[in-house]
Amino acid sequence: MKPTVFRSKFALVVAYVWFAFAFVNAVDLVLRGRDAYALLGGAILLAFTVAIYLTCFRPRIVAGDEGVQVHNPFRDAFIPWSAVDDITVSHSIRISAGETVVRSWTPQTSSKERRQALRKGVATKPGLKERDAESFRGVTHADWVARQLSEFAVSRRPKKGDTAAAKVAWSPVAVGLSLASLALLAVSIVAVLV
């Protein structure tokens, strides 16, 4: 079965717009830049691009057959369905697996969004029966994702005998990109000052 990916669509649009902007400016820097200030401009552009990648493009939740993967800006977590104890939502989605609690960077919900969901509901959506609309009243996007994940945890939980544990680790790509962009930024600042 194809994995289901949950992420912020707004953040994804921001990321693609920034990547297009950064690409056009990088081409301009390559064609016209010949001094230390061009190197500094490129380093700043790269640092912002890495920040946009880490905060807008990378964060997501991937629900697969074996378990759920949570990709946050610097850390990755894999929780097998057999290890999922509870999925809750406050401002972010929290997945509990034994002693491990993984908080998802996206999707998040604000107090304002929760108040609006309680006030408006979804009763105005065409084709939605009133009893179905009531079950969605007060539900934010993060709540809906948590419901989906909870259903997956029940339906995809393997039979007895599977006792896999949650795994949380630093993302080498995210850490490496951050360190490389900061190092280039430091070198370009020194080049401008010298």
Give yes or no for residue 130 having a pLDDT over 60: no
Give yes or no for residue 126 having a pLDDT over 70: no
Same domain, 81 and 36: no
Same domain, 185 and 159: no
* Percent over 70 (pLDDT), the chain: 89
CB atoms within 10 A of CB 71: 21
Could you give the CA distance from residue 186 to residue 43 in angstroms, rounded to a whole number? 9
Dihedral-angle region of residue 177 (phi above 0 means left; psi in -120 to 50 means alpha; beta otherwise)? alpha
Q: Work out the angle between the directed axes of helices 36-52 and 172-193 (0-180°, nearest 10).
A: 160
Asked if residue 51 lies in contact with residue 43, where contact means CB atoms within 8 angstroms, the answer is no
Give yes or no for residue 13 having a pLDDT over 70: yes
The single-letter code of the amino acid at 5 is: V
Does pTM top 0.95 for this prediction? no
Structural domain boundaries enclosing 102 = 61-168
Give yes or no for residue 120 having a pLDDT over 90: no
Could you give the CA distance from residue 119 to residue 106 in angstroms, rounded to a whole number? 23
Sign of the C-alpha dihedral computed for residues 97, 103, 109 and 114 taken in this order: positive
Question: Residue 134 has what pLDDT?
Answer: 59
Q: What backbone torsions phi and psi does residue 128 show, to the nearest 5 degrees?
A: -100, 120
pLDDT in tens, 159-192: 776 668 899 999 999 999 999 999 999 999 999 9
Question: Residue 142 has what pLDDT?
Answer: 87
Peptide bond into 107 cis (omega under 30): yes
Same domain, 28 and 124: no
Same domain, 68 and 118: yes
pLDDT in tens, 30-42: 999 889 999 999 9
Give yes or no for residue 128 having a pLDDT over 70: no
Same domain, 184 and 140: no
Same domain, 153 and 67: yes
Question: Residue 125 has what pLDDT?
Answer: 52
Same domain, 84 and 145: yes
Q: What is the mean pLDDT of the chain?
A: 88
Give yes or no for residue 123 having a pLDDT over 80: no
pLDDT in tens, 38-78: 999 999 999 999 999 999 999 999 999 999 999 999 999 99
CB atoms within 10 A of CB 189: 15
Same domain, 100 and 126: yes
Same domain, 101 and 119: yes
Q: Which of 23-27, 137-141, 152-156, 162-166 has the highest mean pLDDT?
A: 23-27
Same domain, 105 and 68: yes
What is the domain count for the chain? 2
**Beta sheet of 100-103, edge-to-edge order:** 86-89, 93-97, 100-103
